[in-house]
Amino acid sequence: MTAGADLPASPARPTVRVGAPTERRNPLSVDLDLMSTRDVLTVINEADRRVPAAVAAVLDEIATTVDLAVAALRGGHRVHYFGAGTSGRLGVLDAAELAPTFNSPRHWFCAHLAGGPDAMWRAVEDAEDDNGGGAVEAASCVRAGDLVVGLAASGRTPYVLGALAAARANGASTVLLCANPEAEAARSVDVFIGVDTGPEVVTGSTRMKAGTAQKLVLNTFSTAVMVRLGRVYSNLMIDMVATNAKLRGRMISILVEATGCSEDISQQALTKADGDLKTALVSLVSGAEIDAARAALARSADQVRGALALLAS
């Protein structure tokens, strides 16, 4: 008897042929492997130039998503990202960067990655096929009034679609961000952001243009949310957390830029405000004492322009 002859055959694993634009061959990169290094780089760079224009075409949809997020956060709710692979990792990255940049409460933006934390460092490919896994995770943490943003390059990732369906059933608003303007799931969400980045230079490698587009959209979206919530004054990050020497220096630079005061005066105001940049800023701009500036911020929901208006009236 041949060794292993009686062993049962391994069950066939499901196969899906994806028809998204990201899976089609790019005629401009045919024979990429035969090109010189410089030509390879040129092809990639020229393809990447298409991405900002593709993002510009969906700014209306991004604006609607920003307004939904602002309403959710002002109402005491949360924003969730659900994604797999590159898309999910970009969601984790965006959520992680908001607290140090804007001092936003960590519970405001929650990132969920198919396969869990380990999937940040290694591919857990089958996890994205788990429709039920996404649904269970969303059902356990998404509440009515939340905003859920699904991240899926193809627009069909089961984990993401399962999460969106469960979130909508729980009363959350839903958004799908993908690189497939033809995605069928567009009809199942409140806002559909289909960025037309076209075929990848390396066929199916959505870490390239599709990933770049998602990074641009997420940067645009979350930054605009923070601006609308008053965590930026003019174009200065006034809610930043100074966790190192560079950022402590940036606080002084921000005060100098915003007020026209010298570095010494800015440092003195920041010291009197116990390191609170907003309080120091309001004090210097308005001429009010530190205690009055702090009280005005408290009365205006921590909004600099609101506090300045109170002190000017």
User: Which is nearest to 176 in space by CA: 197, 166, 190, 162?
Assistant: 190
Q: Which two tokens stand for residue 31?
A: 């024979």
- Gap between the Cα atoms of 101 and 279, Å rounded: 17
Per the annotation, the verdict on 128 as an active-site residue is yes
Catalytic one among 23, 128, 137, 184?
A: 128
- Write the single-letter amino acid at 141: C
Amino acid at 132: G
12: left (phi over 0), alpha (psi -120 to 50) or beta: beta
Q: How far is CA 297 from CA 197, 230, 240, 252, 287, in A?
A: 44, 11, 16, 20, 14
DSSP, res 40: H
- Annotated catalytic residue: which of 61, 97, 257, 289? 97
Asked about 125 being catalytic, the answer comes back as: no
The one-letter code for the residue type at 187 is R
In contact, 300 and 307? CB cutoff 8 Å: yes
The 8 Å CB, 24+ separation contacts for 38-43 are 43/201
Q: Give the residue numbers marked as catalytic.
A: 97, 128
